[in-house]
């Protein structure tokens, strides 16, 4: 019988049952592991691996025929060198994280606009005081860089709250969700920044996105603008961002992704004013909906795999997403 | 010339210009005051007062013909005893606060669901750690009590994020915004509470809403439910809420309104777990949009007043809203 190795660190028992039942119907047997390292000694028994942090499995899995990544980000797997089987199929779970990450973006953006961290500090000291000046998502001019699932779900929510939403992407000829008022190419970003109130970065880590929000581009943002990054830390010049925040040439930033992660104890970001840091948790799989979507996407692909059909959610290792 | 006394503590110079110009066109002259007490010695010169915290003006204003309240809450003005002129017209600014208060509700609800206060504490100690289990607005079963501007704007935003939204109001025969999946009378609340994930209170302070979320009703909520109050502190049994939070029979609460306000330094709410307190700031007039709406509503009514037409936004002193 064909066998699947599944990492169960993010799975509920109900979801494990689901996977086991669906696999059995398709002629597969499932074994569960708590991490990729556990799979390595027995990897040759499995033709499919469904999990994350998979480098050791890929490097050892000469006979592995499909790696179904439960995460959306795939930057560890782009180099040919990590694949013991160069013909191994590869899918990811981009599309499962848009709901939770967009809710995170809304939360941190509202916290910045409404100056909630200041209010929390005062209330922690039992001081009944509110911020001098708050701002609204209603009427806010938002620029979203990256129009995948995360960017699109974020745009829909912000649009429903009355924001003006512009999208920026690599390929402007692809169709866009109606939540975007207009779509621009990355090359046009410089023109958009001076009238952007909130810049939201939700791009994957690729050669093209590295340093996308550069020092000169940060300078183009208004002094009262906000930056939110939920993609990858590499998308912005972190030193330039810190300088801008310290110099009050930006009103604030919310970073869920940084370089490096975890942030070292002596990193200057910890002491930067008006920055709201979260530990790369915006897409946490503790959210029930996200887990279910990741499993749904895997099982949909498992049926296709069993039927010899092309797999969905297959990223390009060349493009990086 | 007929004269208007305007409180300018919330007005920008642009908005003052607006009011002055519109008033002049309608044959009125405007004087500005920083508080109601300043108006009292000269109150007989004015036929209209536009402002808030207006008790001294009303009590002295025998000739005052219209009090335009820049706030939405009118509980200080319900008793006949406060009106020196019993025939004084009375309007308020309900309708100007829905956008900002609904954004506050979204922010605090997301902070509770995503356990942001815990995450902020860890990050303040430079500890890279995220919460065990977070929840989503997507699919959340929300019950909103009070379907005025605040309740409706909140319902629209939550619906757009994928929540299931039920509305509760006094008069179920009034039309409801399509963002509400269903509308119930207050008497049906007990039936709704056991399958409510988030209960949002946005009712004015009236005889009917006092103690609306009583101890027995708090007990009907699931242990993992959240309570958000942005109406008036009197709408809930605060002691019962504190008991439920301490006993972990509720997952959390976000209170922007409390009894009394400001909260005394030794009040037990300050030490209650899983409560997110804000200093009655959800409707702060520091938000540009809110100020503009309040002024728009006043000027629309001023034109009607000058033309001898009935005024809009005239609350019932008997009902209390």
What does the block give as tokens for B248?
């972990």
Question: Does position A43 have pLDDT exceeding 90, yes or no?
Answer: yes
A223 CA to chain B: closest CA distance, Å?
18
Task: Give the CA count within 13 Å in the CB-facing half-sphere of B204.
Answer: 26
Residue percentage of chain A with pLDDT more than 90: 91
Per-residue pLDDT, averaged over A101-127, amounts to 97
**Residue B120: its pLDDT value, please?**
97
Length of chain B: 321
Residue A235 clears pLDDT 90, i.e. is over it? yes
Q: What is the pLDDT of residue A159?
A: 98
Question: Is residue A154's pLDDT more than 90?
Answer: yes
pTM over 0.90: yes
The span from the CA of A225 to the CA of A253, in Å, is 9
pLDDT band at A288 (very low <50, low <70, confident <90, very high): confident
Chain B (102-121) residues lying within 8 Å, Cβ to Cβ, of chain A: 103-104, 106-107, 110-111, 113-114, 116-117, 119-120
Asked whether the predicted pLDDT for residue B235 surpasses 90, the reply is yes
Q: What is the DSSP letter of B97?
A: S
> How far is B273 from chain A, CA to nearest CA, in Å?
12
Look at A111 and B111 and tell me if their CB atoms are within 8 Å: yes
Task: For residue B272, give the DSSP letter.
Answer: -
Tokens representing A228 are 């939110």
What is the interface pTM, i.e. ipTM, of the complex?
0.93
Q: Provide the pLDDT for residue B201.
A: 98
Task: Determine the pLDDT at residue A225.
Answer: 98
Q: B302 near B28, Cβ under 8 Å?
A: yes
Q: B179: nearest CA in chain A?
A: A160
Q: Read off φ and ψ for residue B254, nearest 5 degrees.
A: -120, 115
Predicted pLDDT of residue B154: 98
Q: What is the pLDDT of residue B289?
A: 86
pLDDT at residue B285 is higher than 80? no
Residue B97 · residue B103 · CB < 8 Å: no
């Amino acid at each position: 019988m064909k066998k699947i190795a599944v990492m169960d660190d993010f799975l509920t028992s109900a979801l494990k049952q689901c996977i086991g039942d669906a696999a059995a119907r398709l002629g597969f047997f499932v074994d569960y592991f708590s991490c990729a390292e556990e799979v390595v000694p027995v990897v040759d028994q499995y033709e499919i691996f469904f999990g994350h942090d998979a480098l050791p499995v890929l490097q050892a899995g000469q006979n592995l025929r499909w790696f179904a990544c439960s995460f959306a980000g795939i930057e560890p797997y782009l180099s040919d060198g990590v694949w013991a089987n160069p013909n191994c199929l590869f899918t990811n779970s981009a599309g499962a994280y848009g709901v939770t990450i967009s809710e995170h973006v809304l939360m941190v953006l509202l916290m910045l606009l409404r100056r909630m961290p200041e209010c929390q500090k005062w209330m922690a000291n039992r001081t009944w005081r509110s911020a001098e000046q708050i701002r609204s998502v209603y009427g806010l001019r938002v620029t979203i860089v990256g129009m995948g699932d995360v960017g699109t779900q974020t745009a829909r929510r912000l649009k429903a709250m009355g924001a003006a939403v512009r999208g920026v992407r690599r390929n402007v000829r692809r169709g866009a969700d109606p939540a975007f008022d207009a779509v621009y190419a990355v090359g046009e970003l410089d023109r958009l920044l001076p009238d952007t109130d909130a810049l939201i970065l939700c791009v994957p880590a690729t050669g093209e996105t590295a340093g996308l929000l550069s020092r000169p581009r940060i300078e183009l943002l208004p002094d009262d603008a906000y930056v939110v990054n939920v993609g990858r830390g590499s998308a912005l010049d972190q030193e330039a961002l810190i300088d801008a925040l310290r110099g009050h040439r930006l009103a604030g930033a919310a970073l869920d992704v940084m370089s490096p992660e975890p942030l070292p104890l002596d990193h200057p970001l910890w002491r930067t004013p008006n920055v709201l840091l979260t530990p790369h948790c915006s897409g946490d799989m503790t959210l029930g909906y996200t887990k279910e979507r990741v499993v749904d996407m895997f099982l949909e692909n498992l049926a296709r795999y069993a039927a010899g059909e092309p797999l969905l959610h297959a990223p390009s290792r060349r493009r990086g997403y």
